[in-house]
Chains A and B, each alone.
Chain A
Amino acid sequence: MEKLKACFDFSDLPRLDLTIAGLVLSALLVFPIFPHSSYAMSTVIQFFMFALYGMGWNTIGGYGGQVDLGLAQYLGIGAYTTAVSMIRWNTPFWVSMPIGVVLAIIWCFVVGYSVFRLKGHYFAIATIAMSLVLKDVFEVWKFVGASRGLEIPSTRFTSPDFLHLVFTNDTYYYCLILAFFVIGLLYINWFRKSRLGFQLRSIKDNEEVARSLGINVQWAKLKTYAVAVTFVSAVGSFHACYVKNIEPEDTMSLDLSILIALMAMLGGAGSLWGPIIGAGILIPLKSYLKEWLGARAGLVGIDVVIYGAIIMFISAVEPRGVWGIVQRVRRRKRA
Chain B
Amino acid sequence: MKKRCTVLLGMTLVLVVIVGIHTACPAAETIKIGVIYPLTGGAAAEGRELRAGAELAAQIANNVMADIDMDMAKRGGITSLGGAKVELIFKDHEGNPTLGADLAKQLILDDKVVGILGCYHSSVTKTVSAVCEQYGIPMINDSSTSPALTQRDFKWFWRTTPHDVTFTQDLFELFKGLTEGKVKGVPAVPKDQIKNLASACEKTEWGSQVSETIETFAKQYGFDVQKSLLYAAKSADLSSEVRSLQAVKPDAMLFASYASDAILMVKTLKAQKVSAKIIWGQDAGFEAPEFRSTLGDDVVGILTRTVFAPKVAEVKKVAGQVNALYKKNIGHDLSGASARSFTGLQTWVEVLQKAGSTKPEEIQKTANSITIPGDQLIVPWKGIKFATSGSDRGQNELGSGIIGQYQKGKDGEIVLEIIYPFEVATANMIYPFKAF
Contacts and interface: CB of A to CB of B under 8 A. Distances in A.
B134 A168 contact: yes
A250 interface: yes
A295 B40 contact: no
A37 B103 CA distance: 12
B232 interface: yes
Interface stretch (A101-109, A146-154, A193-201, A321-329): A146-154
A151 B126 contact: yes
Contact of B123 (A139, A168, A247): A247
B156 to A, nearest CB: 10
Interface in A294-325: 294-295, 300-301, 304
A159 to B, nearest CB: 8
Given A250-B96, A294-B40, A295-B90, A244 B130 contact: yes
A244 B105 CA distance: 13
Contacts of A301: 40, 44
A168 B207 CA distance: 31
Nearest to A40: B110
A39 B106 contact: yes
A218 interface: no
Interface residues of A, number: 29
Interface string A258-295: 00000000000000000000000000000000100011
B106 A245 contact: no
B interface residue count range (under 10 / 10 to 19 / 20 to 34 / 35 or more) = 20 to 34
A153 B204 CA distance: 19
A139 B44 contact: no
B134 A155 contact: yes
A290 B91 CA distance: 9
B106 A244 contact: no
A154 B133 contact: yes
B59 interface: no
Contacts of A153: 130, 152
B209 interface: yes
Given A147-B230, A300-B39, A300-B40, A243 B98 contact: yes
A151 B153 CA distance: 14
A207 interface: no
B133 to A, nearest CB: 6
Contacts of B232: 249
A42 interface: yes
A295 B97 contact: no
B261 interface: no
B102 interface: yes
A73 B92 CA distance: 26
B44 A146 contact: no
Interface in B88-117: 90-92, 96-98, 101-102, 105-106, 108-110
B127 A146 contact: no
Contacts of B91: 295
B126 A39 contact: no
Contact of B134 (A38, A148, A149, A154): A154
Contacts of B203: 139, 147, 249
Nearest to A39: B106
A170 B91 CA distance: 20
A170 B130 CA distance: 15
A153 B131 CA distance: 10
Contacts of A168: 134-135
A37 B109 contact: yes
A173 to B, nearest CB: 11
A144 to B, nearest CB: 13
A39 B205 contact: no
Given A154-B133, A155-B134, 18 more contacts: A38-B106, A38-B110, A39-B110, A42-B105, A42-B106, A147-B203, A147-B207, A148-B205, A151-B130, A168-B135, A170-B105, A244-B127, A244-B130, A245-B97, A245-B130, A295-B39, A300-B39, A301-B44
Interface of B: 39-40, 44, 90-92, 96-98, 101-102, 105-106, 108-110, 123, 126-127, 130, 133-135, 148, 152, 203-205, 207-209, 230, 232
Interface of A: 37-39, 42, 139-140, 146-149, 151, 153-155, 159, 168, 170, 243-245, 247, 249-250, 290, 294-295, 300-301, 304
3 smallest A-B Cβ distances: which pairs? A38-B109, A147-B203, A39-B106
29 contacts: A37-B109, A37-B110, A38-B105, A38-B109, A39-B106, A42-B105, A139-B203, A147-B204, A147-B207, A148-B123, A148-B148, A148-B204, A149-B205, A153-B130, A154-B130, A154-B134, A155-B133, A155-B134, A159-B134, A243-B101, A244-B127, A245-B127, A249-B204, A250-B96, A250-B97, A294-B39, A295-B90, A295-B92, A304-B40
